[in-house]
């Protein structure tokens, strides 16, 4: 079969190069029209088309689907396209829709605040979260330090988590049973996970040395990891079994003797209660007596005594640079909260996102927006819709500056830090990656060798094995775009 695949690819590549025209089908889809039909007729563009077509034929035909679109943001014409309207799973490039809608509808300066309020009777303290996915244990300690001097040290207080900003669904629509890396909550802390630090023991066969943050009684750490030989590959895993609600984080595997420490993340069940537990402990450290803990909305008449704000721009930047799913889902629910005036839901957020795209003149009737992060395989989009969204945000200079600066830079940072090094795309291309089993995508902005700005989207789907080959193809196409000149 590998030999047959190579033969088929070679034949198709030969036909493309020999005829200068695209193959007639790609994984059952009609090939794009000739360049003359798109108003782009230069020899350099035709050459770019032949080169990209040949790459696709060699690497993927006839087994794998792909959708590609490249448009000039200066001239407005199409530089290259292949199955641009083919509906595919966008994976984490879905975050581009979420980020664009959040910046446009909510504004980069919007404050996403975590607040502390005291009821009128002065007996209960309310910790209210409203979607700050970057809230840390240090932030909670700072809130406690601000609140402490205002509390009566001789009085006992109960503590409540106010979760009224969002609905009570922890997961997005269409997530798989093992998509348990994080749970969505309006009151988050430490990315709703335990950070586990694993170091080798003093000798081969000794238990690994394991510590975790944040330090709290809310979870139990079970260490089953051992120290291997100096040459043994590390295989450390830290996890809470999917669906497990006892918050037992189990560390397994081997860490090589003398190797550097490893950091792993494990999600916790009901993460808002971990935040509440940390805040309770911080209040006690301030000398405040806290007895019971519960969840309840802040009542009318309560007084806000402390707040920890975060600008929405910071959340968007973190979501795009690191491809953070929790932040993207929190942004989606914030959109829902803003649009409906009810506890933010993924469904209401998706309606708001669809409305935003429609107002940009982007057709949405074939678009499926199931979540904000791209974890859901229910999501369906196309390379054309992606590039149209990128073009829409480009039209607003201030929002484009924030949006573009939030994207990973090829070879420099974020999820593109290790890619395209040494090519003309390094330091040039800014894009959002998307990867899940059988899907790999890259969408963003790049400039040609002449400085002409492009918006592009590459979505590759339905392949066996890892996504390494798909990512390599994306990087090669990116280098062709960055090296492109309209005039030879």
Active site residues: 92, 95, 323
SS3 assignment for the chain: CHHHHHHHHHHHHHHHHHHCCCCCEECCEECCCCHHHHCCCCHHHHHHHHHHHHHHHHHCCCCCEEEEEEEECCCCCEEEEECCCCCECCHHHHHHHHHHHHHHHCCCCCEEEEEEEECCCCCEEEEECCCCCCCCHHHHHHHHHHHHHHCCCCCEEEEEEECCCECCCCCCCCCCCCCCCCCCCCCCCHHHEEEEEEECCCCCCCECEEEEECCCCCCEEEECCEEECCCCCCCCEEECCCCCCCCEEEEECEEECCCCCEEEEEECCCHHHHHHHHHHHHHHHCCCEEEEEEECCCCCCCEEEEEEEEEHHHHHHHHHHHCCHHHHHHHHHHHHHHHHCCCECHHHHHHHHHHHHHHCCCCCCCCECCCCCCCCCCCEECHHHHHHHHHHHHCCHHHHHHHHHHCCECCCCHHHCCCCCCCCCCCCCEEEEEEECCEEEEEEEEECCCCCEEEEEEEEECCCCCCHHHHHHHHHHHHHHHCCCCCC
Burial of 246 (0-12, 13-18, 19+ CB in 10 A): exposed
CB burial of residue 109 (10 Å; 0-12, 13-18, 19+): exposed
CB atoms within 10 A of CB 297: 15
Other CB atoms within 10 Å distance of the CB of residue 322? 14
Using alpha carbons, select from 176, 110, 191, 161 the residue that is nearest to residue 399: 110
Dihedrals φ, ψ of 71, to 5°?
A: -130, 150
**Straight-line distance from the first to the last Cα atom of the chain, in angstroms, rounded to the nearest whole number:** 40
CB 208 within 8 A of CB 200: yes
Tokens 């009224």 belong to residue = 164
With tokens 């590039």, the residue in question is 387
């Amino acid at each position: 079969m590998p030999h047959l695949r190579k033969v088929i690819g070679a034949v198709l590549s030969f036909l493309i190069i020999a005829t200068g025209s695209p193959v007639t089908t790609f994984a059952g889809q009609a090939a794009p029209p000739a360049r003359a039909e798109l108003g782009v007729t230069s020899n350099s563009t035709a050459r770019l088309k032949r080169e990209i077509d040949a790459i696709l034929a060699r690497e993927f035909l006839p087994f794998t689907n792909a959708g590609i679109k490249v448009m000039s943001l200066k001239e407005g014409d199409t530089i290259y396209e292949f199955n641009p309207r083919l509906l595919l799973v966008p994976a984490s490039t879905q975050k581009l829709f979420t980020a664009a809608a959040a910046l446009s509808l909510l504004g980069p300066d919007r404050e996403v605040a975590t607040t502390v309020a005291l009821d009128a009777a002065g007996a209960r303290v309310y910790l209210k979260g409203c979607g700050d996915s970057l809230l840390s244990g240090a932030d909670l300690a700072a809130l406690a330090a601000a609140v402490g001097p205002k509390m009566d040290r001789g009085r006992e207080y109960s503590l409540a988590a106010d979760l009224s900003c969002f609905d009570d669904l922890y997961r997005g629509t269409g997530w798989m049973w093992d998509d348990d890396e994080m749970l969505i909550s309006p009151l988050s802390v430490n990315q709703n996970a335990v950070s586990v630090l694993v170091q080798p023991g003093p000798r081969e066969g000794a238990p690994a040395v394991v510590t975790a943050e944040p330090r709290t009684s809310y979870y139990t750490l079970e260490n089953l990891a051992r120290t291997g030989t100096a040459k043994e590959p590390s295989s450390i895993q830290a996890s809470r079994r999917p669906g497990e609600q006892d918050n037992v984080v189990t560390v397994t595997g081997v860490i090589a003797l003398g190797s550097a420490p490893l950091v792993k993340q494990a999600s916790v069940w009901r993460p808002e209660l971990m935040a509440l537990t940390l805040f309770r402990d911080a209040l006690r450290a301030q000398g405040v007596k806290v007895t019971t803990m519960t969840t309840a909305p802040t009542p009318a008449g309560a007084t806000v005594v402390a707040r920890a704000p975060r600008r929405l721009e910071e959340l968007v930047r973190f979501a795009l640079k690191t491809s953070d799913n929790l932040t993207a889902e929190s942004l989606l629910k914030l959109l829902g909260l803003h649009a409906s005036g009810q506890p933010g839901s993924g469904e209401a957020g998706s309606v708001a996102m669809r409305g935003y795209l429609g107002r940009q003149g982007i057709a949405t009737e074939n678009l499926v927006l199931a979540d904000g992060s791209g974890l859901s395989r229910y999501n369906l989009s196309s390379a054309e819709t992606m590039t149209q969204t990128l073009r829409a945000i480009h039209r607003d200079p201030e929002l484009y500056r924030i949006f573009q600066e939030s994207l990973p830079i090829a070879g420099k940072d974020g999820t593109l830090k290790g890619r395209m090094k040494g090519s003309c795309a390094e330091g040039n291309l800014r894009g959002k990656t998307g990867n899940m089993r059988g899907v790999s995508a890259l969408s963003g902005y790049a400039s040609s060798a002449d400085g002409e700005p492009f918006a592009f989207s590459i979505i590759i789907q339905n392949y066996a094995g890892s996504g390494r080959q798909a990512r390599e193809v994306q990087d090669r196409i990116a280098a062709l775009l960055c090296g492109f000149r309209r005039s030879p």
